[in-house]
Structures are given as C-alpha cells and as structure tokens.
Structure 1
Amino acid sequence: MPASEALQQAAVGLPPTSRPSPSASVPLRSWFALAAVAVGTFAMVTAEQLPMGLLSPISGAFDITEGTAGLMVTVPGLVASATAPLLPVLVRRADRRIVLISLMALMAAANLVSVLATDFAVLLASRLLIGISIGGFWALAAGIAVRMVPAAYVGRATAITFGGATAANVLGVPAGTLIGGFSSWRTAFATVGGLGLLVVAGLLVLLPSLPAGEPVRLRTLAAQLRNRAVRTGVLTTFLLVSGHFAAFTFVSPVLQEVSGISPATVGPLLLVFGAAGILGNFLAGAVAGRDVRRTVTVIASILALILAFFPLAGTGPVGGTALLIGWGLAFGGVPVTVQTWILRSAPRDAEAATALNTAVYNLAIALGALLGGLVVDAATLTAAPWTGAAVALLTAVTVRLTRDTTP
C-alpha cells in the first residue's frame, strides 16, 4: 500500500485497507464532485472564522471593543452547533444535493449582507445565517464520500472532503486577513461570498442526485453519548478547540500589540501559520493512526506551553513569529486527531457520531471566542493566550485521567 494512501486513511481515522481493485473504477466526474464539496467546506469554515483576523478594522469601523467584535465568531459557532445535529433530522428524506446547494447559496447571500452592513447589529445578523449554513453543510458533507465511491476508495475520498475543512482551519483566516490588509474587511467578506457562488455552480454541474437513505433520528444522536469513548472524544474536542479559539480569536491584535508586528505583516504571517498547520495536519495524521491518545496529549501539551509563553517570549517580532509557527504546527493536528478518535470510537455509527462532534466543535469555537472576549474586556489582551494555555493544559490532564476510554 502506498505511503500516501496510508496517510490519507490515517488522516480520517480509517484502518489501512488493501490496494483498490483495478475493476473498482471511479468516474473522473465523481472525483471532481468530491473536490467541489471540499472547496465548499473550505468556504464554509473560512466564512465562519474570517472575522478572527479582521477584528481590529471591524471594531474600528463600528466603534466597538475587540471583545464585542468577537461575537462575530461566537454567534455563528453557537448556531452551527445546534444546526449540525438538527438539520439532518429536519430535512429527513430531502435530496442531499439540493440541501447542500441551498446551504451554500445561503452562505454566499449572508456574506453579501455582511459587505453591505451599515451597523454592527446587521453584521451580527448575517453571521447568524452563516451559522445555519455551516452547521448543516458540514454535517451532511461528512457522509458524501461513502456514497460516491466504492468501498476501496472511501479512505481517499473522505480525505478529500475533510481536507477542505482542514485547509480552512489553517489557511482560511490568514487568507482573509491578507485580503483585508490589502483592501478592506468588506472585500474579504465579498471574496468568500464570491467563492460560495462558484461552489454553487460547481455543485450544480458536478454533484449527482443524492436521495436520503435511512433518516437520522434524535435518538441515534443521543445514543452516542452512552459510548464512553465517544464522550471522552467529544470532551477532548471541546477543550482543545475552545482553548485554541479563546486565544486565536485575538491573534491579530496580540501580534500587533504584544509582538510589535505591523498590521501589514499580520496577514503574511498568518499564511505562514497556515502552512505550518498543514504540515502539522499530516504529521498528526501519520501518528494518530497508531496512538491517538498520545497524539492528543502531545498536541495539548505543546499548545499549553506555546500559549503560556507567548506574552513572555513573544514580545518582539522574532519571538512572536517563532511562537506563531509552533502554534500553527500544533493546532494543525487537532482536527484530524479528534476526528480519528471519534471514528474509531463509533465505527458503525460514524455519521451520527461525526454530527455530534461537529456540533461540539462549533460550540467550542463559539464559547472559546466568547471566553476570550470576556477575558480581554475584563483584564488585558495578554490574558487571552494565558486562558487558552490553561484550557489546553486541562485537555492533557483530562486525557490522562480517562485512560480506560481509549478508542
């Protein structure tokens, strides 16, 4: 089995399989359709996290604090956490192709509202629509790969669809920040909205009809919480992600005010953060397949150290840049590692368990951003990375204390 294929399967938590049979061919159109879904997840996650790199200009434009501006991350995260498990239940037997296209169109429209917003209340309302679209899209897109390719190719296809979200987690915010730096924050929102329209066109042309199978029911979702390994995995996801976003929501002002980095340099530096994150994704994917518990512990410990030392050792451009790269490398491994944990914990209920974990992931983004905002407004900007460090350390302790739930 080629190393690249083994890495792809490890990246989604699937056990290695034999080489695909030559007779099990996949039409090129199917691969293009999966790529379109991947670009869709990239656009959705980018739209959700876009304000993180633009808090300073947005807060200045509406004369609000950066902590208040952080609500642009909290609101869609809270809405998405509710939408992810509920929308598959609500749409029941609707054609998934139609639902996915509708949700992508809603995301594009919401970003247009953001571009035209004349006050912060309107901007926040548009972010609520983003939450609806991302929660539903990701919950349904997670199961697309299984339906579009033969079993021997599921690992590769799932790696493609999950790759869109992974790329957005590490590149979406830096790219938006860079666009906002060269032009304006409104241009950044317009760019993501335009990407959404392109994805709508791609899905219309490439994605086949996807009639619903057995509908997801609330009791199926609730049953996942009786699985101890799933419960621990979901708690791990919540702690790791909320701790990261308590700090990362304010990465732009931290780099400027703590590290003394110019606003024009923040965007390019966040792209470096993203590149480090991609490397971290593949490194974690390679080792999580062998020992997912140890991988989570190492990632949480590294994050705790980096965030704890940021206000102390990141007080200059060199120190701030070095710590930012290490931060990206560590967090880049989080999505693939927690997904590996979840899929190994519930191999027969992967769709329901993934929907639950997606809901918790988005809830963690929202509450992490909210926690960071409250801390920044109540104390100082440097308290945000220290808060993230404390939560990351709590993650490592939690994983250590729950050794009997290894998936």
Structure 2
Amino acid sequence: MLPVGVLTPMAEGLGTTPGTAGYSLTITGLVAAITAPVVPRLLGDFDRRAVVAVAMVLLAAGNALTALAQDFTLLVVSRTVLGIGMGVVWSLAAVIAPRLVTPRHAALAVSLAVSGVAAASVIGVPLGTLIGEAFGWRSAFGTLTASALLLAAALLIALPKLPKPAPTPDAARTGGRPLLRTPAVVVGLTVVVFLVTAHFAAYTFIRPVLETSTGISAAAIAAVLLTYGVFGLIGNFTSGALAAKRSRATVLLLALGILVAVAVLALFSALAAVAIAAIVVWGLAYGGVSVAGQIWMTRSATGNEENATGLYVGVFNASIALGAFLGGTVFELAGMTPLLWTAAALAFIALTTGLLGPGPSTSTREEAPEKIPCPSP
C-alpha cells in the first residue's frame, strides 16, 4: 500500500509519471493473484508457521529492492518479489487465525488477522508519507524492509507449530465440489472483483486527486490518509462482528458506502470539507471489505477453507492489479473526474450483483478447538 502515499515523489525519483508508478500496485497484485491460489495446493505437510515467516523475508527483499530501484525495470522486479510474499501471507493468515481459537471466536480471529489490511492504511500509508516527506521515499521502503525482517523472527517465536489441517466432516461432504460451481462462492467472488477494482482504481490516485482538487499540502494529505485508515480499522472490526451473523448483508452495506463516498467525491472534490468527509465514509466502508468477504467465502465453502481462501485472495489481488491498471489508464487519458465516476459505476455493479445473487449460509457450528501444541518457553 505504501506507493499510494508516496506516489508523486516516487514517480519523480524513477523518472516516470504518477500513472506509470501507480502500476507498481498492479504488478504486486497480479503476482499475488497468481501465487495465492497455488500456495495451498503446494504446501503439503509444511509447517504453516515457517511458510509465513519465509514469506515475510520475501516481503523484506521486495521492499529493499524497491528502495534501491533507479528505474521502472527494477521496480517491476522488486514488486514481483513482493507479490510472491504477499500472496503467501494473504492465502494463509485468515486460515491460520481461526485454528488458534475456539469456533465461537473464529470471526474475531479473522478480523484481527485481516486488520493488518486496515492497519496498512492506518500506519503504513500515512507514516510512509511522513517518512517520505522527511527523509525521501526510499527511506520509507527501507523502514518496511527492517520491519518485515523483525516480524519474520517474531512469527517463529510467537506462533505454535501449524501442520497441515486435518480433514473435517464438512470436507467430506463439500470438499469434492469445485469451488467455482458453488453459486454463493461465484457471487461472492464477482462482488469482490467489482468492488476491489472500483476501490483501487480510485484510491491509488487519491493523493493526486487531493492535490489537484483541494490544493492541500502533503502534510495535510498524510493526516487525511491517517483519518481514512483509522476509520478503516473501525470498519474492519465492526464489519467482522456483523459479518459473523450476516455476511451477505454486511458486504452489500459496505458496497453501498463505497459507492456513495466515491460519487460524492466526484461531485464535490473541490470542497475540502466534503471531500474529507467522503474519504472518512470510504475508509469506514472499505475497511470491512476484506474481513466480510473472507467470512462470506469460508461460510460458502465450509470444509474447504484453505483452497477457498487461496482462491479468494487470488481474485482479490487480481482485482487490486486490475483496479490500479484501470485507474492509471483512465487517469492518464481522461483525468480525475472520469476516474471517480468509473469507480462509482463499478461499485454499483458490485452492489447489484450481491443483491440479485445467492449468499452464503448463515448457520454456524460449535466444535472443539483444534489442538495445536504451544511453543516451548
């Protein structure tokens, strides 16, 4: 997410345009989209804790290469490495979390794990913007490199061993059905495609939009992005609680919030107060998309969670890539306002698809928690 906050100086440092620099999100998202669905099928009996730690080392390497990049070619390489690591992390994090708690706390566990996505906005983007303004955009990526290495070590220390999950009774009943032949899964993925594409088409270029329309300073933009992130974090936990009971209704409410926020921004972006209010609503709505969509998918494919999550993460990241690419293209060819209306139209399609199609089951089951040995002191 960091390129969002440092897009303008990053483009200048690489000798390219903001639209082209914005494609860095496309590269990462596309690689993660390819990696995530494959990961659950290749892991076998590998300890999931070790796999996630190795993925964090890959994230560190990708950020280090980004900090060193002098042109767009090396940026492509760095963001490819980053995408591989990100695909592994995303495909496992939301599946690992429920294994550490009892079923009644599964939704909260997923919310905590997926809150990292919202924290990327709360901490990563605004802090990266401030570091970039003070010490240069390369320093921001260097900070992420060190953080990822520390996190890799912390994961090995803090998590118990996580072997391949044992088959469940539900897996015997539903695991043989192809995920893409399950109506609720297909509808959920379709909603995610349009909603995430809409979000990243517009949000990738939020800094140029604010600079052009409102004329506010870089420091003020960092504050706006921080506010967006704070409300995104609130939206994450609120949506997780709501989606645990009604995942479909929650996703539709979030889609409506994004649609309204982007449309208001398209109409009144020149009014700083209105634009900031729209961004707050946008953060509150989008902050819950990851966790609510994750719960939609696991409820739609009970017993096949790892593969369903891998597919979901793949589609999610492909949509990030598509959104950043679409946003960069429309922004370069038509400008800010057509870009915002394009995003609003995509959010409307997501909302309509979710309203017309079937959703996941709302039933929940109480089971004994999976027994996982705790790490030695």
TM category, shorter:
0.7 to 0.9
The aligned counterpart of 2:69 is 117
Q: 1:8-407 counterparts in 2 under 5 A?
A: 49-149=1-101, 151=103, 154-213=106-165, 223-403=178-358
Deviations 1:66-91 (A, max 9, x none): 11111110001000011111122223
Deviations 1:220-240 (A, max 9, x none): 698111110011111111111
| Deviates most, 241-250 or 149-158 | 149-158
Structure 2: distance between partners of 1:133 and 1:221: 29
Deviations 1:274-303 (A, max 9, x none): 111122223333433443333322322222
Structure 2: distance between partners of 1:403 and 1:144: 27
Structure 1: distance between partners of 2:178 and 2:68: 43
The aligned counterpart of 1:22 is none
| Deviates most, 270-279 or 282-291 | 282-291
Structure 2: distance between partners of 1:74 and 1:214: 35
Name the Cα RMSD after superposition.
2.4
Residue type of the alignment partner of 1:366? A
Structure 2: distance between partners of 1:391 and 1:201: 40
Structure 1: distance between partners of 2:314 and 2:134: 34
Residue type of the alignment partner of 1:138? W
- Verify the 8 A CA contact 1:281 1:333 in the aligned structure 2: yes
Structure 2: distance between partners of 1:315 and 1:221: 54
- Verify the 8 A CA contact 1:221 1:356 in the aligned structure 2: no
- Aligned-residue offset at 1:57: 0.7
Q: Secondary structure at the match of 2:290?
A: helix
| Deviates most, 233-242 or 220-229 | 220-229
Structure 2: runs of 5 or more not aligned: 363-377
Give identity over the alignment, percent: 42
CA shift in 2, pair 1:222/1:254, >3 Å: farther
| Deviates most, 352-361 or 341-350 | 341-350
Q: Secondary structure at the match of 2:214?
A: coil
Structure 1: distance between partners of 2:359 and 2:71: 51
- Aligned-residue offset at 1:153: 5.2
Residue type of the alignment partner of 1:59? A
Residue type of the alignment partner of 1:97? R
| Deviates most, 341-350 or 156-165 | 156-165
- Aligned-residue offset at 1:246: 0.4
The aligned counterpart of 1:14 is none
Count residues with an aligned counterpart.
357
Structure 2: distance between partners of 1:245 and 1:162: 18
- Aligned-residue offset at 1:332: 1.6
Structure 2: distance between partners of 1:312 and 1:184: 34
